[in-house]
Amino acid sequence: MPILFLIILIVMAVVLYGISVHLYNLTISTVYRNEPPDDPEKKTDNSHFSRSSDQKTKERSYAGPDGNDKTHCQNQRYYFDTHKTEDIYMQSRDSLMLHGTAVINDRSRWVIICHGYSSTARQMSSYAELFDELGFSVLAVDLRGHGESEGTYRGMGWHDSYDVWDWSCLLEKRYKARDIILFGISMGGATVMMAAGHALPESVKGVIEDCGYSSVKAELKYSMKKRYHLPSFPLLNMASFVTKRRAGYSLLTDGDAAAQLRLTKLPVLFIHGEDDTFVPFAMMSKVYKAAAGPKMKFTVPGAGHGKSYSADPDGYRDAVYSFLYKYIRL
């Protein structure tokens, strides 16, 4: 009887672990399967924008490599192809080889750009060009498990936030960077908010986040309920158990962007589309309220997830410029 009871316990444990692994894959892998692309040029449908007449997007022309004029959204695909780039590699604290693509202008002034889930550094070309126009050198990084960076899992920004810390130290040491801005969109936005709470070097002068979530837990709870009509308890708890074992962090207690913002005095610019149903617009209010340092916000009526720049490029650029002028003294 004791042997039979032990066998039953082992079978139950194996089954529960299998369920937990499945839930881990559900919450991490499938919740973000259909995340919209980061780069405005990738958009396929503008029908969800309901802009008033005084908010219409003004198209800006650009002469592409073929000499023909391109609209603002079309031109961005050429940025990394028409600029001299440098591949930069860095070993993470847990021995992963991480990759970044750099375009070097002013070696003392840099922006670190973080993409969203399932994207890559080179797909952030629109934002890279924006900062390039303002005179910044650009380092667009491939987050763990993305692009050319190593990693066996795609996390939710918590471990990536430590990598951003290390990238900023690398820029300070290798290029003598004096002014560094952290920029990210979606998961990248959450990543730079989380990074803000670390002991960053003094060269980091500010953070710009676009549609980042307030915490991993809050985003997964929202997604599970909205997309799959599933309760977060006990499913998220079980998935967190697997995440802790496999990736070394908890979905329930780690990756809290709002909590990290309470630890920093860095100025932060918050950007969000008011019609975002992927990372709900209400989350911006939570992170904005949590920020302990100087802060500004820019919202775009009618813009969905990651669409604020393509919806209002002039307003977006003006908000970024105003923030940088105020806190970096462009």
142-146 contacts at long range (C-beta below 8 A, 24 or more positions apart): 142/98, 142/99, 142/100, 142/101, 142/115, 143/114, 143/115, 143/187, 143/188, 143/191, 144/92, 144/96, 144/98, 146/115, 146/118, 146/119, 146/120, 146/121
pLDDT of residue 169: 98
Q: Within 13 Å, how many C-alpha atoms sit on residue 157's CB side?
A: 29
Number of C-beta neighbours around residue 315 at 10 A? 17
How far apart CA 192 and CA 170 sit, in angstroms, is: 16
Q: How confident is the model at residue 167 (pLDDT cuts 50, 70, 90)?
A: very high
pLDDT at 14: 46
Quote the pLDDT of residue 278. 95
Report whether 195 contacts 161 (CB < 8 A). Answer: yes
pLDDT tens digits, residue range 70-94? 334 444 457 999 999 999 999 999 9
**What six digits make up the tokens of 211?**
């549609």
Question: For 26-69, how does the pLDDT look when each residue is reduced to its tens digit (9 = 90+)?
Answer: 445 444 444 544 555 444 333 322 232 233 333 332 222 222 33
The reported pLDDT for the residue numbered 39 is 52
d(CA 199, CA 58) in angstroms, rounded, equals: 40
DSSP state, 200?
-
State the pLDDT at residue 4: 46
Residue 116 or 66, more confident: 116
Give the number of C-alpha atoms closer than 13 A to the C-alpha of residue 182, restricted to the C-beta side. Answer: 35
Query: Per-residue pLDDT for 16 more than 70?
Result: no
Q: Which CATH architecture has domain 80-215+255-330?
A: 3-Layer(aba) Sandwich (3.40)
> Does 289 have pLDDT greater than 90?
yes
Q: From 297, 302, 268, select the one nearest 285 (Cα to Cα).
A: 297
Predicted local confidence at residue 34, as pLDDT: 46
The SS3 of residue 13 is: helix
Check whether 269 has a pLDDT greater than 90: yes
Closest to 111 in 3D by CA, of 211, 210, 208, 190: 208
205 and 328 in contact (C-beta within 8 Å)?
Answer: yes
In this predicted model, what pLDDT tens digit does every residue of 180-233 receive, in sequence order?
999 999 999 999 999 999 999 999 999 999 999 999 999 999 998 988 888 888
Residue 292 has pLDDT above 80, yes or no: yes
DSSP structure string for 144-176 = TTSTT---SS---SHHHHHHHHHHHHHHHHHH-
Cα(187)–Cα(85) distance, rounded to whole angstroms?
24
- Domain ranges for the chain, please list them: 1-30+217-248, 80-215+255-330
Name 220's Cβ contacts closer than 8 Å, sequence gap at least 6. Answer: 27, 31, 156, 232, 236, 239, 251
For residue 69, the Cα-to-chain-centroid distance in whole angstroms is 31
Give 252's DSSP letter. T
In this prediction, residues 89-105 reach a mean pLDDT of: 97
Segments in the chain forming alpha helices (H): 2-24, 72-75, 79-82, 125-133, 158-175, 187-196, 216-228, 235-247, 257-261, 282-290, 308-311, 313-327
Cis peptide before 234 (omega within 30 of 0): yes
Average pLDDT value for residue range 122-148? 96
Question: What pLDDT does residue 18 have?
Answer: 55
Residue 260 DSSP code: H
What pLDDT score does 246 carry?
Answer: 86
